[in-house]
Amino acid sequence: MGDASGIQSPLSFGGFGALTRHLGRVGGAICNALDTGCLHRDDLGLINAYQPNLSAAWMFQKAMSMKMGSTPDPVFVNRLLATNFQVMNDMGYRTIKPFLQDVVRLDGLAGSLARSFVADPTYMPQIVATVGLPELVEWLGHVGNMALYTALDAVVTPVIGPFVDRSDNPREKFRWQRRMEAWKFGCGADYVLPESNEIDLSLE
């Protein structure tokens, strides 16, 4: 059900579980659309808007899939997963917990990629060859948009939010509310880190 919704990546084990973080946003937006009459397809399209962190998550799937006719390295995927999960575990609970709950955030993504490169620099050319240069460039665009959405949510939303709430134009208010939600969810800023003990994924 979660995977079929198109909101969350079917990469994860828990498409349905990850979808639950969107229930309040989607349910509230649908009720808002009905109450205000914002039922044009352009209005409704804002409810399930582009989220760069979900698009960036597809790179993980791409890196673990083999092209037709290729000869896969039998240890490639295991090596990729072992390196990345060990790096995230070393970075701590605040990095690995969101990722395990299917939330990709810029701080965790950038930090884990940089440390993975340091931990296993000779592996990067093989990853690029597996993914493909055009796909890698596209992915970098999604990561750039994650940075943009992070800045918009942190800087712009607090400034314009009060003005949007006081707006007398229902359609403009609806659209700006959806945009601000897209910024928040598109960079993972909606995620609230649960209180818990450290997760130990040590591979030793």
In contact, 89 and 200? CB cutoff 8 Å: yes
The torsion angles phi and psi of 178, rounded to 5 degrees, stand at -70, -40
What is the number of structural domains in the chain?
1
pTM: 0.83
pLDDT digits (tens, 9 = 90+) for 18-58: 677 888 999 999 999 999 999 999 999 999 889 898 888 87
- How confident is the model at residue 204, as a pLDDT? 46
pLDDT digits (tens, 9 = 90+) for 132-169: 888 889 989 999 999 999 999 999 999 999 999 999 99
- How confident is the model at residue 97, as a pLDDT? 86
- 138 found inside a domain: yes
- 13 found inside a domain: no
- Cα distance between residue 77 and residue 63, in whole Å: 8
- Cα distance between residue 17 and residue 2, in whole Å: 7
- 7 found inside a domain: no
Q: Write the DSSP symbol of residue 122.
A: G
- 57 found inside a domain: yes
- Cα distance between residue 141 and residue 52, in whole Å: 9
- 29 found inside a domain: no
In contact, 80 and 33? CB cutoff 8 Å: no
- 21 found inside a domain: no
CA dihedral of 101, 144, 52, 22, whole degrees rounded to 10: 60
- 164 found inside a domain: yes
- Please report where in the chains the tokens 């962190």 appear, as a residue: 53
Structural domain of 164: 51-186
- How confident is the model at residue 197, as a pLDDT? 54
In contact, 127 and 116? CB cutoff 8 Å: no
